[in-house]
Structure 1
């Protein structure tokens, strides 16, 4: 007996298989980092066939990017307001994400600035990390880049500026266990803007 698909309706098996694949990838990412999220590991954990996985995710980089987005949703653009207001909203949103998943947020930012994985990966791993870095930059860094463009003098290093804002949030979450609350974030933004003005 064949199953007939009603036009315009999605097969629920596709949703179930995608959910199983993504859950397995998220678990592997949380447990062991980027290197653990392989096609073999995900298919073994999810119980979904490799061919089905490739229907949802054409390659391991897209699978890994989807797992990152599941764990740490992308930051929303901060909307309107002064550069300070926009930057503060963005830093507060980043602090909240880091609070929820500090190690993964650190991993995302390391991928953004090109520090993922130990030195000397093979060519396949290097291209995978490069593709992931490009995805992370597009997804997680663009909101910062847009706001920093209004705060930085021409020719300033946006990577360094972003790390000066996000670095203390990661340090609080991973090392000091101090909260990155609104007063802390406001001070961080004000100190940052004061150095840009001088």
Structure 2
């Protein structure tokens, strides 16, 4: 029996297949990293045909971009309290994001494939969307907190790099946890130097 489409209505099978594909890709990414997310592995795990996967994602890069976007939860700028308290809560939230392997893997993957340009540099649609999502997740929360201290794009970029850089260094190089004491010291040193 065939299913007739109602004009103007989306086929629910498309949503189910996309969801199954993304769930499989996210699980593979979380379990084994970027190298585990192959078209073959995703189709095997999701039970979705290769041709259906390609209806949703043109290639494995688009599939990875969509999977990473699912894995990076958004951060909101903290409200209430002194500027120091707000900044400390934001740095602690950033540290938590960085310590979760998928988020860190996303940043490393994006650097490896050269997503350092702007979304207007001709990046494919989903990669540009992923880059914008990462900017929203990691950079924009600093706007609200740091603009109170000293407005200006250059200042906020420098301050965010100065505060997040040591968190990344800990995660990638020293493998130390960026705990509350470490984050408080970062924030206090930053505030004292400005």
Q: Same fold (TM over 0.5)?
A: yes
Distance in structure 2 (CA, Å) of the matches to 1:27 and 1:2: 33
How do residues 143-182 of structure 1 correspond to structure 2 at under 5 angstroms?
Answer: 143-154=141-152, 156-182=154-180
Aligned residue in 1 for 2:107: 108
Change (3 A) 1:51 1:152: farther
Deviation at 1:60, TM superposition (A): 7.3
1:87-129 superposed Cα distances (whole Å, 9 cap, x missing partner)? 111111111222222x632633884xxx44259xxxxx96134
1:67 is aligned to 2:67: yes
Aligned pairs (5 A) from 1:9-48: 16-27=16-27, 29-30=29-30, 31-33=32-34, 42-43=42-43, 46-48=46-48
Task: Supply the distance in 2 between the matched residues of 1:168 and 1:37 (Cα, whole angstroms).
Answer: 29
1:21 Cα deviation after fit:
1.0
The alpha carbon displacement at 1:175 in A equals: 1.8
Q: Across the two proteins, how many residue pairs are aligned to each other?
A: 182
Matched, 1:193 2:153: no
CA-based RMSD of the aligned residues comes to 3.9
CA 1:93–1:68: 2 relative to 1, 3 Å: same
Which sections of structure 2, spanning at least 5 residues, go unmatched?
5-9, 116-120
- Secondary structure of the residue aligned to 1:127 is coil
Structure 1 stretches lacking a partner, 5+ long: 5-9, 120-124
Q: Is the 8 A contact 1:21 1:53 kept in 2?
A: yes
Give the drift of 1:165: 1.1
8 Å CA contact retained: 1:61, 1:132 = no
1:76 maps to 76
Give the Cα–Cα distance (whole angstroms) in 2 for the partners of residues 176 and 65 of structure 1.
28
- Indicate conservation of the 8 Å contact 1:107/1:116, yes or no: no
Mapped partners of 2:16, 2:73: distance in 1: 21
Look up the match of 1:7.
Answer: none
Q: Distance in 2 between matches of 1:164 and 1:191?
A: 10
| Contact 1:65–1:132 under 8 Å retained in 2 | yes
Identify the residue that residue 95 of structure 2 maps to in structure 1.
95
Q: Shift in Å at residue 43 of structure 1?
A: 4.4
Could you tell me how far 1:57 is from its partner in structure 2?
Answer: 6.8
SS at match of 1:151: coil
